């Protein structure tokens, strides 16, 4: 490995440290409470060193959001091959929950921590592209199920159904992330809770025989 390649690798390693530290701080302390100095202190770097990689806190947040939302969307890649839209919807719910439980800090910042939304024009993720936009993937799957006559006849609004499905799965995983250490409740295994919620939602949406 040449000097140029080694320096580039070291630069990427530092950027990754910065992003990981910032993600954790944003999720645990809140976006407004975190400063570039705090991020630097977390990884034992000087603030000046941080500014060599990111111009401000907003640019750090934007890169984290791009990486994490793109990662979630790409988790749905294999699911896109499922021909039946209802089965694809079922698999999407489970994949969403698995992402949340596997990456709790990512999820907490993405969906449980108030922060300014990055400017769409500055982000590389294309809104509405199901390969990059996880919500678009969910909404398009719902729309396909509606078009195929697979959902209950009164459920003809893909946005409404997609947002309701999302809310149900979010409730399960956000409780897991925020409250799983609370021994006031005799928590059942998260896999069982996510599967049950997913199935309740799917069965509530799908058209019954004779409808």
Q: Which two structure tokens, joined as six digits, stand for 146?
A: 């509606």
Residue-number span of the structural domain to which 62 is assigned: 57-205
Please give the angle made by the CA atoms of 151, 141 and 205, to the nearest 5 degrees: 25
Rounded alpha-carbon distances, angstroms, from residue 185 to 80, 176, 178: 37, 11, 13
Instruction: Report the CATH number at residue 77.
Output: 1.10.357.10
Please give the angle made by the CA atoms of 20, 21 and 22, to the nearest 5 degrees: 95
- Residues 103 and 194 grouped into a single domain: yes
- What is the pLDDT, as a whole number, of residue 93? 97
* Dihedral angle sign, alpha carbons of residues 172, 175, 177, 181: negative
Give tens-digit pLDDT for 68-127.
999 999 989 889 999 999 999 999 999 999 999 999 999 999 999 888 876 767 777 888
Rounded alpha-carbon distances, angstroms, from residue 193 to 101, 171, 187: 12, 11, 9
Beta carbons of 40 and 50 less than 8 angstroms apart:
yes
- What is the pLDDT, as a whole number, of residue 5? 76
- What is the pLDDT, as a whole number, of residue 124? 76
Residue 95 resides in a domain = yes
Does position 3 have pLDDT exceeding 90, yes or no?
A: no
Q: Tell me the pLDDT band of 179, cut-offs 50, 70 and 90.
A: very high
- What is the pLDDT, as a whole number, of residue 55? 92
- Residues 82 and 182 grouped into a single domain: yes
Does position 197 have pLDDT exceeding 60, yes or no?
A: yes
Burial of 122 (0-12, 13-18, 19+ CB in 10 A): exposed
Mean pLDDT for the chain? Answer: 92
- Residues 39 and 108 grouped into a single domain: no
Percent of the chain with pLDDT over 70: 95
* Higher per-residue confidence, 62 vs 173: 173
Q: Tell me the pLDDT band of 210, cut-offs 50, 70 and 90.
A: low
Does position 145 have pLDDT exceeding 80, yes or no?
A: yes
**Count: domains in the chain:** 2
Q: Which two structure tokens, joined as six digits, stand for 76?
A: 């749905």
- What is the pLDDT, as a whole number, of residue 123? 73
Out of 55, 77, 99, pick the residue that ends a domain: 55
Q: Tell me the pLDDT band of 211, cut-offs 50, 70 and 90.
A: low
Q: Which two structure tokens, joined as six digits, stand for 106?
A: 């990512």
């Amino acid at each position: 490995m040449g000097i140029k390649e080694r320096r580039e690798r070291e630069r990427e390693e530092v950027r990754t440290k910065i992003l990981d530290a910032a993600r954790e701080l944003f999720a645990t302390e809140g976006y407004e409470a975190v400063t570039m100095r705090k991020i630097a202190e977390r990884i034992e770097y000087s603030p000046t060193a941080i500014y060599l990689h990111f111009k401000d806190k907003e640019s750090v947040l934007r890169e984290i959001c791009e990486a994490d939302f793109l990662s979630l969307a790409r988790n749905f890649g294999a699911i896109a091959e499922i021909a039946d839209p209802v089965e694809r919807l079922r698999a999407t719910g489970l994949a969403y929950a698995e992402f949340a439980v596997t990456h709790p800090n990512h999820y907490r910042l993405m969906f449980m921590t108030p922060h300014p939304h990055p400017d769409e024009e500055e982000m590389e993720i294309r809104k509405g592209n199901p390969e990059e936009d996880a919500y678009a993937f969910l909404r398009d799957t719902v729309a396909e199920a509606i078009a195929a006559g697979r959902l209950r006849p009164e459920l003809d609004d893909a946005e409404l159904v997609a947002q309701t499905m999302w809310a149900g799965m979010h409730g399960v995983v956000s409780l897991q992330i925020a409250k799983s250490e609370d021994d006031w409740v005799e928590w059942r295994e998260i896999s069982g809770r996510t599967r049950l919620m997913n199935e309740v939602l799917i069965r509530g949406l799908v058209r019954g025989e004779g409808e």
